[in-house]
């Protein structure tokens, strides 16, 4: 597909929640296609673009962003909220949409993960799909829907079976989110959403990991929200004891601490570990603060 011009992509970036350069002068300096899947059988075309964003301020740094776009010959009102604009191509005029919001485009990722179940890997154009051995089989009837509220990435759930996180800002090498979840999954942790697989691509000799697929925990409750609800119940009647008001969070906090300890112990057994004294720990903290 003919790449959209930089101005169209720049105007879209500043409208998104996940773009980290809002408030800084920038330009899309380079647009590269890292996957191009033609339209077929009622499905849209899909092109995954890698944008090099360069900032025009005193830092003058650059970042890589992943923008997958689905293309249609006609306007699709059902995903009008994800519309970027139209471009002229050799195949005619094409309307472009953010593919994460397009359930028809998301089927391409679903098909890739399903194809990888038998051998552990599958190729969709330049995208290589990996599956973790023994992970939940996927059905091709699953329907995707985008998740809301994320700040730095984009996720879509496939019914109540799985959730795929598409990394917007990418960098060469292994993604820590994938690496840690893979080790915890292979180590048998019961306290995480199991890793089902991930997607990667090679660009100019460098590996980029672009997405990960995990178990969707349909009945999970956010720990912070649970704690806030407990405090709210306690404050509703200050004269009532915490254990009587439903505001006693002690039991949940204890179980959360136990789960966290087990996860950390498993990580210590799966990754290199060392003991550090106060001096080296302080140096590490100072380095993190910049």
CA distances to 224, 241, 245, 254, 256 from 230, in Å: 10, 12, 9, 14, 15
Q: Using an 8 Å Cβ cutoff, are 14 and 23 in contact?
A: no
For 225-262, how does the pLDDT look when each residue is reduced to its tens digit (9 = 90+)?
A: 777 777 777 777 767 666 666 566 777 788 888 888 98
Joined together, the tokens standing for residue 58 give 């005193």
Is residue 205 packed enough to be buried (19+ CB in 10 Å), middle (13-18) or exposed (0-12)?
Answer: exposed
Claim: this prediction has a pTM higher than 0.75? yes
Whole-number pLDDT of residue 218: 80
For 128-178, how does the pLDDT look when each residue is reduced to its tens digit (9 = 90+)?
A: 999 999 999 999 999 999 998 888 999 999 999 999 999 999 999 999 999
Tell me, letter by letter, the H, E, C secondary structure of 22-67: CCCCEEEEEEEEEEEECCECCECEEEEEEEEEEECCCCCCEEEEEE
How many whole angstroms separate alpha carbon 140 and alpha carbon 107?
8
Q: Using an 8 Å Cβ cutoff, are 78 and 108 in contact?
A: no
How many whole angstroms separate alpha carbon 172 and alpha carbon 170?
7
């Amino acid at each position: 597909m003919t790449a959209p011009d930089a101005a169209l992509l720049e105007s879209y970036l500043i409208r998104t929640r996940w773009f980290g350069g809002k408030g800084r002068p920038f330009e899309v300096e380079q647009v590269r296609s890292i996957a191009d899947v033609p339209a077929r059988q009622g499905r849209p075309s899909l092109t995954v673009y890698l944008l090099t964003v360069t900032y025009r301020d005193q830092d003058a740094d650059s970042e890589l962003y992943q923008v997958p776009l689905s293309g249609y010959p006609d306007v699709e009102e059902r995903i009008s909220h994800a519309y970027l604009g139209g471009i002229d191509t050799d195949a005619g005029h094409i309307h472009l949409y953010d593919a994460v919001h397009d359930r028809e485009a998301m089927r391409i990722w679903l098909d890739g993960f399903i194809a990888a179940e038998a051998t552990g890997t599958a190729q969709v154009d330049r995208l290589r799909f990996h599956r973790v051995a023994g992970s939940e089989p996927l059905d091709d009837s699953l329907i995707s829907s985008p998740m809301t509220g994320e700040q730095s990435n984009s996720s879509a759930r496939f019914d109540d079976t799985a959730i795929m996180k598409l990394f917007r800002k990418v960098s060469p090498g292994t993604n820590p989110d994938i690496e840690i979840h893979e080790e915890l999954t292979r180590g048998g942790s019961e306290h995480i959403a199991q890793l089902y697989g991930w997607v990667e691509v090679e660009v100019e000799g460098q590996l980029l990991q672009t997405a990960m697929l995990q178990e969707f925990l349909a009945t999970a409750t956010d720990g912070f929200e649970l704690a806030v609800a407990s405090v709210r119940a306690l404050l509703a009647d200050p004269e009532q004891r915490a254990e009587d008001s439903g505001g006693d969070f002690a039991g949940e906090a204890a179980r959360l601490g136990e789960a966290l300890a087990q996860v950390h112990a498993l990580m210590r057994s799966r990754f290199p570990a060392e003991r550090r004294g106060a001096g080296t720990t302080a140096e590490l903290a100072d380095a993190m603060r910049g």
